[in-house]
Amino acid sequence: AVLRAMVRDPGKVRFPDAATEPVTHVAVKYSHPEWMVSRWIARFGLEEAVRLCDANNERPPVTIRLNVLKVTQAQAIDSLAAAGIAARPSRYVPEAIEVQDGADLFLHPLYRDGAFFVQDTSSMLVAYVLDSKPGDAVLDLAAGPGGKATHIAERMGDRGTVVAVDIHEHRARLIEQNASRLGLRSVKAVCADATKLPPGIACLSFDKVLVDAPCSGTGVLRRRPDLRWHRQPKDLEELVALQASLLSSGAERVKPGGAVVYSTCSIEPEENSLIIEDFLKGHGDFSPDPALPYLPASFSSAFPQAGLPFVETLPHIHKMDGFFIARLVRSASR
């Protein structure tokens, strides 16, 4: 009844005064908690914070990552079109396409045959920055449900090993199921605490390590609108401790000359650049490696400042989920 009354006479709706109460005004008008709005206004300025909040309320696109070992972009688009599903190529990642209507997507034979995985474009950039090669040994920590692990394996031509670790048994099973559906044999799921790796993994060293850390999720609020009301400022402190521990654990397993990539779907500095800053202070054998050379050319040409040195995407600027991606290289001698 309240909503119907508002629709009948929207002019009667009164928001807090924008001039005298900007934080409350934006928080109420765009349905965000005040603590988030306050942070973003302080960091981005009022106008950009409003654009970010507005973008978080938009309906996000459905993007799928094609399994290039099984299907080409043209084949996938034609096959979806034949089933009445309109799709178009992504502007930024070669193996990504945007689906206009994803209602019957999981009933399509392409899904059953392992020809695609649903994944946002910004999330796909992580495997590019990792830059794994055929034959590499890769460790993926906090890997469930396996989106990035399987993308890494596909980019390696399914030649090598991707050890995908997750602490939750059901998420480890999802990694196995997704790898099986996609026809990938190089992905090995392990249920374990990534901060206390079991001896069988702790004794190994890897060419590349991915730490896709659990985070506040402030970069994916348009996909999880309820999350904004569950998060509290104190959550950042707890998450930062876990993120730092995961990064240190992953870094220990990197071979000399190898690389670790740290990523989150957060847009908060405490979980991103400040984590990297603190890590580098205590790990003199690691140095930042600018992400720009590893990114898809179409993304880099559209956003030439991205990846210098870290990738930071924002929904209102890049039209994709908010992500942070940092690549760190270990010195060849230690």
Q: Any idea which residue has 């202070």 for tokens?
A: 281
Exactly one of 191, 203, 215, 265 is catalytic; name it. 265
User: Is residue 286 within 8 Å of 329, Cβ to Cβ?
Assistant: yes
Judge whether 280 and 311 are in contact, CB under 8 Å. no
DSSP code of 87? E
Residues sharing a CB contact under 8 Å with residue 13, sequence separation 6 or more, in sequence order? 6
* DSSP structure class, residue 61: P
Q: Is the peptide bond before 145 cis (omega within 30 degrees of 0)?
A: yes
Q: Is 203 a catalytic residue?
A: no
Q: Going by C-beta distance under 8 Å and a sequence separation of 6 or more, which residues neighbour residue 230? A: none
What is the CB-side half-sphere exposure of residue 143 using CA atoms within 13 A? 36
Q: Is the peptide bond before 296 cis (omega within 30 degrees of 0)?
A: no
Of 112, 58, 80, the closest CA to residue 223 belongs to 58
Is the distance from CB of 235 to CB of 229 less than 8 angstroms? Answer: no
Catalytic residues: 265
